[in-house]
Amino acid sequence: MPTLGVNIDHVATVRQARMTNEPDPIWAATLAELGGADGITLHLREDRRHIQDRDLRLMRETVAVKLNLELACNAEVLAIACDVRPYQATLVPERREEVTTEGGLDVAGNSAQVSDAVKRLQDAGIVVSLFLDPDPAQIEAAAATGATAVELHTGAYAHASENYAADDELRTLIKAARQVGEAGMIVHAGHGLTYRNVCPVAQIADMCELNIGHSIIARAVMVGLEQAVRDMRRLVTGL
């Protein structure tokens, strides 16, 4: 069964709404760990709308489980990543006007830029994952970059699951996961996963890691973060 990476960006979003110092995502990472998170995921965006540089640097010192930094192929943020050296970096596309990451990285259309970013991160000793739509051409291009893992974008599946029409999207994810594995890369997945739709994705063969943010933080507002993480981890890992 896969491991659970808890994305704590939304905690920083609440803090930034008032430009104050609470709630602190460092506390959130600690509570997520206490709830059983196998990893902590955070996204240092070019526009710094939620996570700040200080959050990344402090989490590098305080997080005991896998620290997974999401970032775009942006020279400034890449330099910070190589300096801070989280355990893992997940390269994602970024558009200023988007509410959250929309769509996967276009590796096929930007192979030189992505390969260069992969190499820089790997030279700094960081495990690299690429966030991709479950598209055979993108997976093939990802394999050529030398990346260790692919995070499959589950947004289309998650959207379809709201309409009870997720079977086709699940089949697409299963095929894509098989292709990622056959290309010698590790399979991750994430985006839009909830307590209701996560189980079929967690059960995909060779699925290693799920990264989940919104649904966990939404539940945490009601029941507390440790409990919310514990509830999700039980669904993801079966433990």
The verdict on whether 70 is a catalytic residue reads: yes
For residue 91, state whether it binds ligand PXP (rule: CB under 6 A).
Answer: no
| Active-site hit among 43, 50, 153, 188 | 43
By CB under 6 A, residue 219 contacts ligand PXP: no
53-62 helix and 25-34 helix, angle to the nearest 10 degrees: 30
Catalytic residue among 50, 151, 191, 209: 191
Q: Please state, in angstroms and rounded to a whole number, the distance separating the CA atoms of residues 223 and 69.
A: 26
Binding segment toward ligand PXP, per CB under 6 A, in 12-20, 161-169, 206-214, 229-237: 206-214
How many Cα atoms within 13 Å fall on the side-chain side of residue 27? 9
**For residue 111, with 0-12 CB atoms within 10 Å meaning exposed, 13-18 middle and 19 or more buried, which class applies?**
middle
Token code pair at residue 121 = 């991160």
3-state secondary structure at position 116 = helix
Contact flag: residue 214 with ligand PXP (CB under 6 A):
yes
Among 37, 193, 207, 228, binds ligand PXP (CB under 6 A): 193
Contacting range for ligand PXP; rule: CB under 6 A; set: 20-28, 163-171, 190-198, 199-207:
190-198
- The Cα–Cα gap between 174 and 195 comes to 20
Active site residue ranges: 43, 70, 191
Site for ligand PXP, rule CB under 6 A: 7, 9, 43, 70, 90, 92, 100-101, 131, 151, 190-193, 211-215
